[in-house]
Amino acid sequence: MLKRRKERQTGPLEAAKETSQLYRVLARANQIASTTELDDLLREMLDLIITVCGANTGTMYLLDKDTNELVFQVVRGDTTESTLIGQRISVNKGIVGESVQKKEAVLVEDLASDPRWYGPIGDEKNQLKNAITFPLLLRGEAIGAVQVFNYTHAPLQLMQFLGNRMTSEYEKAILLQKSEEHSQRLQVLISLIAQISSTLDRDQILSLIIDEARGLLNAEASSLFLLDKENNDLVLHLSKDVHKTTLPPLRIPADTGIIGHVVETGEVVSVKDVSEDKRHYKGIDEISGVNTESLLAVPLQIPNVVLGRERGTTEAHIIGGVEAINKIDGFFDENDTELLSTLAKQAATVLHIAQLYTNADELFLNTIKALVAAIDAKDPYTEGHSQRVSDYSVAMAEELGLSPEIRHQIRIGALLHDIGKIGVPDSILSKPDCLTPEEYDEVKKHPVIGANIIKEVRLLQDELPALSQHHEHMDGKGYPYGLRGDEISPIARIVAVADVFDALTSNRPYRDAMDVETALDILRKEAGDHLDTQYVDTFIEVYTQGKIQPQERKLP
């Protein structure tokens, strides 16, 4: 072991003084340890070590086991700290390297004459004369070192104790920091999940996943692949943050690259350097414009989803995968894997449910469109009538600033407004000439017949008046009930305007289709008595804006 620099004085008084000083140092160490702020902790502990040996400068290094380098972690005293922090020196040379490798303190009384000393990395002004260097030990392993310069005495036991204390507090602070960081990332993940869950719009969900995965994982880029089973392709969606231009989705064969493996097997793949993974497909980098180094790829796996009693459960399956590319600081770790897997699982579920909803919604709309078109087509004069009335009514609803929910009610109500024609004999509906009064009475039943057909459908109650009241007049002279003014539901008053306009601009057995201006004139005349003036104005406004496309006039 090393010799003490000065012989100790051990008279009773000196001993008491030393003991009292020692406890002051220990108390100070306890005080410093009470912070959980890592940087403060290391700085103050290093300052204390500098103080106990009368030094003026000191450095703390941590060992990077991956590279066998010592990294400047804390520098105190008269040096240019900012230029040193983060710099690296090899553990295989120099005084610090020797101290770490031998796990022993090294005391150098004259740095200038020591062959191991390769000069100060810091500021030349320091005039570093001597140095004490000792390893930081954690459970017998050297995890770094402390080096102090220009000491006046060398209480090595105390310094080593403080160094070990520093190590132990460092470890605990890191543990706490990591744990708190983990909590924070989980909280971010939860708020992402909430965001993703509150949209049923597929494109928006995809964008959210891609952009947020990148942020959550501190990655340079991220991308999402959706499996197209029909073509056995993976369709690539890129992070918009990185690729500002909106490219059309790009495709790669389903068995290509690491992502192909992930989508096929459902495995998670984390690679530190893709150039060493033969599965990596460089074509993806060319497409995305990102030079992939580290990569974390997880499957987009839909779990079993319970639809409800009659509809049973949909089967778990993989619909694609998500990649985080190039961890900005280091490599993807277990926490990253956990976070991305969880995000991907939840995102897949949300995508699936959004698809289920969108499908159910589309199925309803397209089926009634098809059925209504078939009913209209029974009479060549009314072909496409309900669809046009629906389009006109929705354009009016938009102009009126009605909510999307009400707009949708108007769309559906207008589509269905004439379905009562199912109950009118087609001999009358398709009669090539004018109707007798008796036949006209039959036709006038269609609002009530239509309402009767859908009145048991719980979720069409708001649309019902579009069917039952679209032939009522503002002056009470309409049918079937002779309602007047506000007694007629707004949806029926809107549909009535669109209905009359489409009838006027369509051929009839007894007359040709009118041109639009003539039809609009008639609407203006009917306003107040028959039609609601407000909605006639709305219709004309919408027409003027070019949002009404009447059917082309054709001779019957």
Rounded CA gap, 435 and 367, in Å? 32
**Are residues 385 and 418 in contact, defined by beta-carbon separation less than 8 angstroms?**
yes
Return the number of the residue (150 or 346) whose C-beta is nearest its own copies: 346
Min separation Cβ 158 and its own copies, Å: 8
Return the number of the residue (108 or 146) whose C-beta is nearest its own copies: 146
**Residue 232 has what DSSP assignment?**
T
Rounded CA gap, 450 and 417, in Å? 7
Min separation Cβ 507 and its own copies, Å: 21
Min separation Cβ 17 and its own copies, Å: 11
Beta bridge partners of 317: 302
Tokens of 442: 């039959």
CA dihedral 324, 327, 332, 338 (to 10 degrees): -50
Min separation Cβ 476 and its own copies, Å: 29
Return the number of the residue (165 or 237) whose C-beta is nearest its own copies: 165
Q: Which of 169, 171, 177 is nearest to 33 (CA)?
A: 169
How many Cβ atoms sit within 10 Å of the Cβ of residue 303?
A: 15
Residue showing tokens 């009838």:
503
Return the number of the residue (498 or 500) whose C-beta is nearest its own copies: 498
Residues in Cβ contact with 299 at an 8 Å cutoff, skipping those fewer than 6 apart = 262, 263, 266, 267, 268, 318, 320, 321, 344
Return the number of the residue (41 or 70) whose C-beta is nearest its own copies: 41
Min separation Cβ 263 and its own copies, Å: 20
Q: Euclidean distance between the first and final Cα of the chain, in Å? A: 114
Return the number of the residue (109 or 180) whose C-beta is nearest its own copies: 180
**Are residues 95 and 114 in contact, defined by beta-carbon separation less than 8 angstroms?**
yes
Min separation Cβ 358 and its own copies, Å: 6
Return the number of the residue (271 or 372) whose C-beta is nearest its own copies: 372
Q: Which of 142, 146, 110 is nearest to 127 (CA)?
A: 110
Rounded CA gap, 57 and 262, in Å? 53
Amino acid at 190: I
Return the number of the residue (378 or 484) whose C-beta is nearest its own copies: 378
Q: Which residues of 259-288 are buried (b: 16+ CB within 10 A; e: fewer)?
A: bbbbbeeeebbbbeebeeeeebbeebeebb
Min separation Cβ 163 and its own copies, Å: 10
Amino acid at 134: F
What values do phi and psi take at 116, rounded to 5? -75, -20
Min separation Cβ 426 and its own copies, Å: 5
Question: Three-state SS for 219?
Answer: strand
| Chain centre to alpha carbon of residue 430 | 55
Min separation Cβ 202 and its own copies, Å: 8
Return the number of the residue (260 or 299) whose C-beta is nearest its own copies: 299
Return the number of the residue (20 or 113) whose C-beta is nearest its own copies: 20
Min separation Cβ 127 and its own copies, Å: 33
Distances from the Cα of 230 to the Cαs of 127, 206, 226, 264, 357, in angstroms? 74, 20, 12, 15, 22
Residue showing tokens 């036709």:
443
Return the number of the residue (143 or 516) whose C-beta is nearest its own copies: 143
Min separation Cβ 112 and its own copies, Å: 32
Rounded CA gap, 156 and 133, in Å? 10
Min separation Cβ 492 and its own copies, Å: 19
**Residue 323 has what DSSP assignment?**
E
| Chain centre to alpha carbon of residue 379 | 51
**Residue 103 has what DSSP assignment?**
T
| CA dihedral over 95, 96, 100, 101, signed as positive or negative | negative
Return the number of the residue (139 or 278) whose C-beta is nearest its own copies: 139
Tokens of 269: 């793949």
Min separation Cβ 374 and its own copies, Å: 4
Return the number of the residue (179 or 265) whose C-beta is nearest its own copies: 179
